[in-house]
Copies of this chain bind each other. A is one copy, B any other.
Amino acid sequence: MAVAGSSGFSPTQLAARAAYLLRGNDLGVMTSAAPKLYPHMWSWDAAFVAVGLAPLSVERAVVELDTLLSAQWKNGMIPHIVFADGAGGDYFPGPDRWECALLAAHAPQHPDTSGIMQPPVHVIAVQRILEHARRRGRSTRAVAEEFLDRRWADLMRWHRWLAHARDPGGAGRITLYHGWESGMDNSPRWDSAYANVVVGPDLPPYRRIDTEVVRDPAQRPSDTEYDRYLWLVEQMRRARYDDAALVSAVSFAVQDVFVSAVFALACDVLADIGEEQSRPLADVRDLRSWADRFRAGVIATTDERTGAARDFDLRAGHWISTKTLAMFAPLLCGGLPRPAERALLRTFEGPQFCGHPDLRFAAPPSTSPVAKEFRPREYWRGPVWPVMTWLFSWAFARRGWADRSALLREEGLRQASDGTFAEYYEPFSGAPLGSMQQSWTAAAVLDWLG
């Protein structure tokens, strides 16, 4: 009966497989992003993973964040990679390339880390952990609250560093010095900025590893792109990862409107937590002021009529307007005037994104199918990323849009019901792409399934 069951896994089966996967990717105190491609801890992966662990084990979710935070830099930065002990050699660029412990004044001596950041989604995980803990018994609640006691100051330092070191001018927008910091590595958003990165003749040689795992080159960045990625790392190394020095030392500097919106939102989330858990009023006040500043910073990038947001290239001095998820940054943090917000929602739900008539599932592609840069199988240039569908569904619920949130959840679950838990999916066929058994995809599913 060839057809039978081809409809995919039922909700209980899917939940079981997602949990089985997460525990299978568990390395003890960190969860690898996926069984093969990524053996280390990624900053925003860890946060999303903790969201998925929370319903399974508040205790284990807390461990995940503790591991990440134990690699926090003294200046407050949470590095985008924490390398698994002794396992650095299998990933490039690894500790030997970054050499943060050696070069950066603020980096920890142990564990090894990279020298850049990723989007600040971590306090979302903290909130989900607290919410799950509330429903459990006293001892579980204590675990969550002790975590907050232990880490409140660290979380504040992280947010403070973002607000100061990454927005020195007070524009209300986070500056990135590498496309990797956006988490959306090869998004069309960075094409023009990367085009201006001139690789120096003295770029130390290297050998890629990612392409040995994912064999389809259409799914991974090209070698030319990779040279530029490495050159930016080289520039940071030479600046010894010094926050003040990076401002001028790196050929790439972009104000990321998506990260900025996430940060505005995260500041509000952390402020809410702070208020509920009676943290210092001064901290809460700082968080609210950053939330306001960055929300305003995001809104300042938007088109009055369409509400679409833009990044700003500091080196080239011009706006970057793309038909990518970044357009929708204001939907995450709010702040748009009503008519613009309505227009932006219509774009999100209309034929350029979720409502494109050929989409298999009504979830937002990373890049619009109608954009000229659209590539349906190429990482952040088109595929649907379940973790992004989750982020929007979670943020929409927070905005009070229960119906919109439920719809994204339904479509996200339909997409995930193939059971591959792929990193990303081809938007039209629904084919799973990237690494399979991706931890954060499983985490999204687990949060959706309650």
The interface of chain A, by Cβ under 8 A from chain B, is: 1-5, 7, 10-20, 22-24, 26, 55-57, 131, 134-136, 275-276, 338-339, 342, 349-350, 354-355, 357, 359-362, 394, 397-400, 402-403, 405-407, 410-411, 414, 446, 449-450
User: For A20, what are the chain B residues with a Cβ–Cβ distance below 8 Å?
Assistant: 19-20, 22-23, 56-57
Residue in contact with A449 in the complex, picked from B1, B16, B394, B405, CB distance below 8 Å: B16
Whether B10 and A450, one on each chain, are in contact in the complex, defined by CB atoms closer than 8 angstroms, is yes
Nearest CB of B to A320, in Å: 27
Tally of this chain's copies: 4
Measured in the bound complex, the distance between the Cα atoms of B19 and A1 in whole Å is 27
User: For A342, what are the chain B residues with a Cβ–Cβ distance below 8 Å?
Assistant: 275-276
Residue in contact with A1 in the complex, picked from B26, B276, B349, CB distance below 8 Å: B349
Nearest B residue to A417 via CB reads B7
Measured in the bound complex, the distance between the Cα atoms of B349 and A275 in whole Å is 16
Nearest B residue to A408 via CB reads B4
Measured in the bound complex, the distance between the Cα atoms of B4 and A275 in whole Å is 22
Also in contact, A1 and B355, with CB within 8 A (given A16-B55, A449-B12): yes
Residue in contact with A135 in the complex, picked from B4, B14, B350, CB distance below 8 Å: B4
Nearest B residue to A5 via CB reads B135
User: For A19, what are the chain B residues with a Cβ–Cβ distance below 8 Å?
Assistant: 15-17, 19-20, 23
Nearest B residue to A353 via CB reads B1
Measured in the bound complex, the distance between the Cα atoms of B406 and A357 in whole Å is 32
Measured in the bound complex, the distance between the Cα atoms of B135 and A362 in whole Å is 11
Measured in the bound complex, the distance between the Cα atoms of B359 and A15 in whole Å is 28
User: For A12, what are the chain B residues with a Cβ–Cβ distance below 8 Å?
Assistant: 11-12, 14-15, 449-450
From A3, A17, A362, A414, name the one whose CB has the most chain B CB atoms within 10 angstroms: A3
Nearest CB of B to A26, in Å: 8
Whether A402 and B398, one on each chain, are in contact in the complex, defined by CB atoms closer than 8 angstroms, is yes
Nearest CB of B to A59, in Å: 12
User: For A1, what are the chain B residues with a Cβ–Cβ distance below 8 Å?
Assistant: 134, 349-350, 354-355, 362, 407
Nearest CB of B to A24, in Å: 5
Whether A354 and B4, one on each chain, are in contact in the complex, defined by CB atoms closer than 8 angstroms, is yes
Measured in the bound complex, the distance between the Cα atoms of B19 and A384 in whole Å is 27
Nearest B residue to A341 via CB reads B275
User: For A411, what are the chain B residues with a Cβ–Cβ distance below 8 Å?
Assistant: 3-4
Nearest B residue to A397 via CB reads B402
Also in contact, A16 and B135, with CB within 8 A (given A24-B23, A411-B4): no
User: For A349, what are the chain B residues with a Cβ–Cβ distance below 8 Å?
Assistant: 1
From A15, A17, A56, A131, name the one whose CB has the most chain B CB atoms within 10 angstroms: A15
Nearest CB of B to A400, in Å: 4
Also in contact, A407 and B135, with CB within 8 A (given A1-B362, A398-B400, A400-B400): yes
A-B contact pairs, 11 of them (CB 8 A): A1-B349, A1-B354, A2-B355, A2-B362, A3-B354, A3-B359, A7-B414, A12-B449, A15-B19, A398-B402, A406-B450
Whether B339 and A4, one on each chain, are in contact in the complex, defined by CB atoms closer than 8 angstroms, is no
Whether A407 and B23, one on each chain, are in contact in the complex, defined by CB atoms closer than 8 angstroms, is no
Which 4 A-B pairs rank lowest in CB-CB distance, beginning with the nearest?
A23-B23, A16-B19, A4-B362, A397-B402
Extra contacts, 18 of them, besides A3-B354, A7-B410, A12-B12 (Cβ < 8 A), are A1-B350, A1-B355, A1-B407, A2-B362, A3-B359, A3-B361, A4-B407, A4-B411, A10-B450, A11-B11, A12-B450, A15-B15, A15-B16, A16-B16, A131-B403, A275-B339, A394-B402, A397-B400
User: For A5, what are the chain B residues with a Cβ–Cβ distance below 8 Å?
Assistant: 135-136, 407, 410
User: For A360, what are the chain B residues with a Cβ–Cβ distance below 8 Å?
Assistant: 3
